[in-house]
Amino acid sequence: MKIKRLTLNNFRNYKKQTLNFDDNIISLCGKNAQGKTNLIEAIFFACIGKSFRTNKEKQLIKWGEDFAKITLLASNEVRTKKIEVIIWKSQKKTVKLDGLPIKRIGDVLGEVPIVFFSPDELKLVKESPEERRKFMNIHISQTNKKYFYLLSRYEKILDNRNKLLKTTKDFNVLKENIQIWDKALANAGIKIIKEREKFVNEIQPFASKAHEYISGGERLRLVYKKFEVADENEFMKKLSKALEKDFKMGYTTFGPHRDDIDIFVNDQEVKSFGSQGQQRTVSLSLKLAELEIMKNVTGEYPILILDDVFSELDENRRKKLIKFTSRCQTFLTTTDESLCEGKIVRVEDGKAN
Ligand SMILES: Nc1ncnc2c1ncn2[C@@H]1O[C@H](COP(=O)(O)OP(=O)(O)OP(=O)(O)O)[C@@H](O)[C@H]1O
Ligand SMILES: [Mg+2]
């Protein structure tokens, strides 16, 4: 898939903007605070259904306006996809896919697959397990819609189970009432674990290869730190065994909502021992590996978005990255014109030309 056209109305600092893209690499170039990231945030929002910067969607509406609209047209040799999103100030957002309204954002996920990378993605390596779960979730959801719905179901069940744990005073009453949630949680939970396991196994060889290439020989190893259960029954047994603890704590103390990925470079845990540069290379390698496994699943490379990435890399790594980017349609942003590749789009004060 390639993005052919993007139209913005009242999105962030854009009043009205249409851009057509014919090239493989598009460089959005301009000074700070002009609207480069805003533009790719709009692409991300249309493809993933949320922003990478904020959970408060209303912030995306241009100040003083009532709505923001993104229209994205993408195509490959066999199909064209049109995604329209309107974020309203005073009502829920509306999303259309090929002209038809859709109810759930999951229905748009994966229609135009993307991989996003920015210096901020270092948090994928450095920060809490939540970041690595998010990484797994966004990736798997784009290639497997069932997973996205499964995850929403799991989160709702978990929420209900936790409410019960918090509000029930009598342990015996809790024991009785919680069974229905345990069964549902185990049913969805085991499937999530299996999908994540598959994902980590799939991404491992590509991530190692990318990392070895970019770092010049370092070994990268990923270990999925999962909640160890063989099947639904064992999951339920472990839940009931831990009930007293959960009762005391007031929440569900284990399950795939606590999963993580341990990342090692040359057998050292990179989160604690890696240098900033190593951590950056790991997060980049993971993203490049994502490109490859998405291609394996969908048959074509996703769209790659690189926000402010080039300025952070030395020339050698930059060149290696460019080799990868030539495989797929790439949007990159930079303040430095000498780092631009392909078609240059100049961004100034909410206008792109
Ligand atoms: N809802 C909004 N309405 C109008 N303008 C907004 C809104 N949200 C953000 N902006 C403006 O957008 C600007 C930021 O744009 P953006 O993040 O795209 O900059 P950038 O070109 O990527 O800059 P940098 O090179 O610093 O990353 C802010 O300075 C702000 O003035
Ligand atoms: Mg920016």
Query: What pLDDT does residue 223 have?
Result: 97
- Of the three residues 280, 301, 322, the one that is the final residue of a domain is 301
Do 149 and 190 fall within a single domain? yes
Query: What pLDDT does residue 314 have?
Result: 82
Ligand 2 centre from 338 Cα, in Å?
A: 17
Ligand 1 centre from 296 Cα, in Å?
A: 36
Enclosing domain of residue 276: 114-301
Do 60 and 118 fall within a single domain? no
What CATH number does residue 254 fall under? 1.20.1050.90
Q: What is the pLDDT of residues 285-331, one digit of tens each?
A: 999 999 999 999 899 999 999 999 988 788 888 888 888 888 899 99
Ligand 2 centre from 40 Cα, in Å?
A: 9
Could you count the other beta carbons within 10 Å of the beta carbon of residue 77? 5
Query: What pLDDT does residue 270 have?
Result: 96
Angle between helices 129-143 and 145-167 (to 10 degrees): 140
- Ligand 1 site residues (CB inside 6 A) read 12-13, 30, 32-38, 59, 61-63, 308, 333, 335, 347
Do 146 and 238 fall within a single domain? yes
Do 3 and 146 fall within a single domain? no
- Of the three residues 301, 327, 344, the one that is the final residue of a domain is 301
Do 196 and 214 fall within a single domain? yes
User: Among 163, 208, 213, 160, which Cα is nearest to 184's?
Assistant: 160
Q: Are 326 and 24 in contact (CB under 8 A)?
A: yes
What CATH number does residue 82 fall under? 3.40.50.300
Cα dihedral sign, 51-78-294-331: negative
- Of the three residues 279, 301, 323, the one that is the final residue of a domain is 301
Do 94 and 218 fall within a single domain? no
Nearest CA to ligand 1 atom 25: 32
Q: Which residue positions in the chain have pLDDT lower than 70? A: none
Do 82 and 214 fall within a single domain? no
Do 105 and 149 fall within a single domain? no
Ligand 2 centre from 32 Cα, in Å?
A: 7
Do 46 and 130 fall within a single domain? no
What is the distance between the terminal CA atoms of the chain, rounded to a whole angstrom?
23
Q: How many structural domains is the chain composed of? A: 2
Its pTM stands at 0.92
Do 18 and 69 fall within a single domain? yes
Query: What pLDDT does residue 104 have?
Result: 86
Do 188 and 293 fall within a single domain? yes
Task: Identify which ligand lies nearest to the alpha carbon of 336.
Answer: 1
What residues have their beta carbon closer than 5 A to ion ligand 2?
A: 36-37
- Which atom from ligand 1 is nearest to the alpha carbon of 333? 22
